[in-house]
Amino acid sequence: MIPSRLTITRGSTLEHDFDVEQRMAACPRTHTVKGMFFARLVDEATRIGVKAGSLPLDVPVDDARYVAFRDYPIRDYMRWAAALAKKAHPRVAISEGLRRVAVDDFERFIHSGLGKVMVALMSDAGAVMTRSGQLYGMVLKGPTVESERRGDEILIRYRDYHGPLECYPVGTLEGGCRHFDARYEIRVEVLSPTAADYHVTLGAGR
């Protein structure tokens, strides 16, 4: 069951399990993410024994090579992410495993040509969180992500976001906070299986 509310700090551990393939079944194949993020997953997963042929990919890729700025199905991305999470973090729930995998998304982005330009204009975690909707828009097609600062917190709205929306974006945002060594608290309100509001408070948590 998807929790309706979660509060996450750096020291938190997510504990709910679910079937990733079942969660991704309703995700349209037209919802895509850039290949640069696949490359990181594939490198890590294949190094610890995950085989591309063992995954039910919608778009099989020769030698599991993904082109950085080409669009690939989010469903395939989550299949790689889940396989890596289960193999690399077998002693935790799949929600926590996916969160840990997602933490490295931000570093992958900022080392791309596009990411270097964007993040050079942002001096702290607050700026990254506030503009996270714009950053998502550069690498995703299908889901809608909007962000705005509201006083001491940043509100990030995820809509039409199929898949583990209550845990995977947690790790992605944490990666941005950790890059700037910022303390944070992330409150997640799950509104539906494809919609959630994230409330990020910086300087909070532990």
Return the CATH number at 29. 3.90.1520.10
Q: How far apart are CA 38 and CA 130, in angstroms?
A: 25
Q: How far apart are CA 111 and CA 127, in angstroms?
A: 18
Cβ atoms within 10 Å of 39's Cβ, excluding its own: 17
Reported pTM: 0.92
**Helix and strand element counts for the chain (H, E):** 9, 8
Task: Identify the DSSP state of 75.
Answer: H
The pLDDT of residue 148: 96
Mind listing the pLDDT tens digit for each residue in 179-204? Answer: 889 999 999 999 999 999 999 999 87
Q: What type of residue is 110?
A: I
Tell me phi and psi for residue 41, to 5 degrees. Answer: -60, -45
Is the separation of the CB atoms in 49 and 87 below 8 Å?
yes
Mind listing the pLDDT tens digit for each residue in 134-150? Answer: 889 989 999 999 999 99
pLDDT greater than 80 at residue 205: no
Nearest by Cα to 191 from 152, 168, 160, 169: 160
Is the model more confident about 107 or about 73?
Answer: 73
Is the separation of the CB atoms in 114 and 181 below 8 Å?
no
Range of the domain at 80: 5-202
Number of domains in the chain: 1
Q: How far apart are CA 155 and CA 198, in angstroms?
A: 6
Mind listing the pLDDT tens digit for each residue in 93-122? Answer: 999 999 999 998 888 777 776 666 666 667
